[in-house]
Amino acid sequence: MSRIRTSYPASAANSAIPCPIFPAPRTVTRSTSVIDILDRLRRPRFNVSPARCCGGRPNRVWRRSGSRVAGIREHVPTVGDASGTARTGGREHETVIAVRPQRSPVNTDPLPPAVEETLRSDPVVSPLIDRHGPLHVTPAEEPFRRLCTSIINQQLSTASADAIRTRTFDVLDDDVTPEAVLAADDDRLREAGLSRTKVEYLRSAAEAFRDRDLTPAGLADASDEAAIEELTRIRGVGDWTARMYLIFVLGREDVLPLGDLAVRKGIEQLYADGDDLSRGEMREIADAWRPYRSYGTRYVWAAYER
């Protein structure tokens, strides 16, 4: 373990950790040239952000279509602004030019004192708290909807997942409940863009929620491993999805999802300058966060996404 960093590098205080999985979109502050804007921005091919897995909304990023844009009406986007009017091929189109819409924090309260004291005992995590502020782990509302979102998003690009999810929920009249999914017509779900397999996965999730209480209240007395066992009985829900559900839906505080590539890469970047670490070494690092490893994991994600 001697090669593992025990403090946050001063040189990284204002630098971003490279992220091959979650490329960080950049905010456009002012521009009158859409060519300049589009040349700088790219849409990541896949967005497998853990938050998105369980229903979070990803940042919107413009991908250049390849056609030359003649010009753009002067537009000064602000944080939270998501559109401007560009003229291409003689027709006006709405285009996304402010690429980091403002999101209202779910919870801006300080970290619980016990959590902050524990995490600040790790000199690598402590400056991440200062940089990213309080990142909470709390139970979420609409657990079935969030699990459906996770299933729909699997192995899809951001744009495809958003479109298919919107059409699927439209089929359900936005009544995303087990009863509505089980009553929905297969052909209409397929027409929304779902594969036959994902229709089966959604029905399996609906049957599970109909027959068992998989909500935060229903699983309150189950251990983490028992909850994972219950969730992975659902077709289409593997260990990774189950652990994301524990953190982002059930609000479990001591989950360490080493099956997540971003967690492993993030730990390696933060503690070993990107060198490979074994899972045993990663568990030893994360022991410093017990019994709040979910919180520590959120700070690793925050650093890695940046």
Q: Give the tens place of pLDDT for each residue, 206-240.
A: 999 999 999 999 999 999 999 999 999 999 999 99
CATH number, domain of 172, equals: 1.10.340.30
The answer to the question of residue 126 being in a domain is no
What is the pTM for the complete model shown? 0.69
Q: How many distinct structural domains can be found in the chain?
A: 2
Give the amino acid at 26.
R
φ/ψ region of 110 (left if φ > 0, alpha if ψ in -120 to 50, else beta) reads: beta
Which of 212, 233, 248 terminates a domain? The answer is 248
Which of 220, 248, 276 terminates a domain? The answer is 248
Which of 248, 265, 292 terminates a domain? The answer is 248
Name all contacts of 105-108 with Cβ < 8 Å and 24+ positions apart. Answer: 105/133, 106/136, 106/138, 107/134, 107/136, 107/138, 108/133, 108/134
**134 C-beta neighbours (distance < 10 Å), count:** 16
Q: Give the tens place of pLDDT for each residue, 61-104.
A: 333 333 333 443 333 333 333 444 443 344 444 443 333 333 43
Which domain covers residue 45, as residue numbers?
A: 26-99
